[in-house]
């Protein structure tokens, strides 16, 4: 069985304060965007031949007792294999469903990492849904959200995978009526990995007026041409200061006719919202990943 995890963008991102548990309270609107990875799961104990991904894998892991054989291709995945959220999703369910059979899992990465797009979170959440469907575990959406939260703060959104107003640390979700199908997105990733911990350290959370700012949920209900001055990502100023090329990408998008442009998450991807059908021609560096959706 195959699934296609999509990414997300943040429409506004306000970091309100730091909590006692070390997380931060935030307010944002998550919007799903169809830049996709691919996850395939094949049962390994039914006598069938497993899919041959030889020659394409950049990461391979066989867990103890051969419960899970995991391979990946596409963009290189940094870090130890055991930290991959697809692997964690399998073992999270295996703990509560011991009858979950051994599987071969393959992840093909096209969504860049450390880019504010939530690609890893999407992979983990979609793996939960894929395993639930394939092996008929009977988990409800609410139960899947509970499992997803154990993987990461962004993961519950990808269980819902509809435009949502997110608060708390990102796990408190409220669906919002927001349809941007009349527009097109241009996403530009300059290949810079932004460390989320570093990004949070750059924020000044003690300033006055943070709680009095217009709420992203209300701003996105207004015409898009009003978003530029109101819909702010708190990470944008420090990220652009450290990486001027990110600010330059945003300006290029506006110069080419974007109705709204911003970084997503803590960066480094910049997205522009354009009228559908508009020809967007920007001479970006060949090292940049550019996606039109």
- 250 in catalytic set: no
Maximal C-alpha separation, the chain: 64
Residue 32 belongs to what H/E stretch? strand 24-36
For tokens 């304060």, name the residue.
Answer: 17
Please name which of 4, 10, 52 lies closest in space to residue 28, comparing C-alpha atoms: 10
Of 154, 217, 250, 291, the active-site residue reads: 154
Beta bridge partners of 42: 104
Of 8, 88, 217, 291, the active-site residue reads: 8
Q: Are 10 and 154 in contact (CB under 8 A)?
A: no
- 154 in catalytic set: yes
Please name which of 126, 136, 137, 185 lies closest in space to residue 159, comparing C-alpha atoms: 126
- Angular region, 257: left φ>0, alpha ψ -120 to 50, beta rest: left
Q: Are 196 and 266 in contact (CB under 8 A)?
A: yes
| Distance separating alpha carbons of residues 182 and 257, to the nearest angstrom | 15
Q: What is the DSSP string of 93-132?
A: HHHH-TTPPPEEEEEEE-SPSSSSS-HHHHHHHHHHHHHH
| Distance separating alpha carbons of residues 175 and 161, to the nearest angstrom | 10
Catalytic positions, please?
A: 8, 154
């Amino acid at each position: 069985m195959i699934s296609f995890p999509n990414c997300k963008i943040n429409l506004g991102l306000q970091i309100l304060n730091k909590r006692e548990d070390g997380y931060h309270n935030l307010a944002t609107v998550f919007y799903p965007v169809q830049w996709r990875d691919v996850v395939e799961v094949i049962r390994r104990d039914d006598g069938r031949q497993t899919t041959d991904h030889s020659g394409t894998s950049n990461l391979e892991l066989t867990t103890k007792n051969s419960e899970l054989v995991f391979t990946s291709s596409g963009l290189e995945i940094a870090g130890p294999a055991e930290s991959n959220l697809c692997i964690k999703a399998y073992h999270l369910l295996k703990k509560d469903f011991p009858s979950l059979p051994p599987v071969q899992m393959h992840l093909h990465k096209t969504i860049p990492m450390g880019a504010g797009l939530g690609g890893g979170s999407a992979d983990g959440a979609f793996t939960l849904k894929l395993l639930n469907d394939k092996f008929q575990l009977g988990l409800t959406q609410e139960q899947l959200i509970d499992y997803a939260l154990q993987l990461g703060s962004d993961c519950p959104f990808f269980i819902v995978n509809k435009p949502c107003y997110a608060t708390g640390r990102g796990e408190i979700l409220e669906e919002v009526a927001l349809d941007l199908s009349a527009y097109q997105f241009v996403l530009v990733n300059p290949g810079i990995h932004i460390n989320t911990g570093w990004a949070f350290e750059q924020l000044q959370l003690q300033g006055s007026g943070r709680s009095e700012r217009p709420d992203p949920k209300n701003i996105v209900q207004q015409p898009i041409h009003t978003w530029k001055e109101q819909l702010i990502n708190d990470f944008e100023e420090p990220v652009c200061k450290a990486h001027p090329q990110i600010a330059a990408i945003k300006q290029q998008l506006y110069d080419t006719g974007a109705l709204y442009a911003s970084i997503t998450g803590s960066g480094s991807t910049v997205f522009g919202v354009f009228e559908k059908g508009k020809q967007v021609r920007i001479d970006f560096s060949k090292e940049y990943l550019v996606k039109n959706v």
